[in-house]
Amino acid sequence: MARYQRKVILKCTPSFAFAFVSDFRHTAEWDPLVQRADLLTPPPIGLGSRFLLTNRFPVPDLPYEIVEFQAPNRLTLRGETSSFRYQDSIGFEEARGGTRVSYSAQLDFKGFFRLGSPMLALMFQRIGDDALRGIEQAVNRAAPAESATAA
């Protein structure tokens, strides 16, 4: 099992950050491993929405489903492939004129991948750091200039 947990401050309101991140179609904008992200269920985005992430890296496509949707405060997505079971939980709270995003992820390895678990856990940390930096850049680019101070 691999775990990832970090926080970052974004220059926007919690509502804007939540709306941007919860629409996992934006994942290709902030996760360097994701080539494309598709919504598999009809809009609007909410509890039960499903996405499919197509990766650049030789990893199978990753299906995700929103299993917790508490706008604009908390979002949890889960998914599973034949090799992995994973969950991403993201919290949003007002902080320092912007939004503090608390990102935690868990990756459980299945079958053959359990043998490489320690090495894969280290890679998971780097992948998480790259994605969180990407979220910061993508959300800050997309946010309206007045977003962080809007009530």
Rounded distance, CA 30 to CA 99, Å? 17
Position 151 in a domain? no
Q: Which helix (H) or strand (E) holds 136?
A: helix 117-142
Structure confidence at residue 113 as a pLDDT band (50, 70, 90): low
Is-cis flag, bond preceding 44, omega within 30? yes
> CATH number, domain at 77?
3.30.530.20
Position 150 in a domain? no
What is the per-residue pLDDT across 25-38, written as a single tens digit (0 to 9) for each?
999 999 999 999 99
Token pair for 93: 């709270």
Q: Give the mean model confidence (pLDDT) for residues 88-105.
A: 96
Rounded distance, CA 77 to CA 88, Å? 5
Domain range spanning residue 115? 2-145
What is the per-residue pLDDT across 57-81, written as a single tens digit (0 to 9) for each?
777 899 999 999 999 999 999 999 9
User: In terms of pTM, does the model score above 0.85?
Assistant: yes
Position 70 in a domain? yes
- Per-residue confidence (pLDDT) for residue 120, from 0 to 100: 72
| Number of folded domains that form the chain | 1
Rounded distance, CA 50 to CA 43, Å? 10
Position 53 in a domain? yes
Position 15 in a domain? yes
- Per-residue confidence (pLDDT) for residue 137, from 0 to 100: 96
Position 75 in a domain? yes
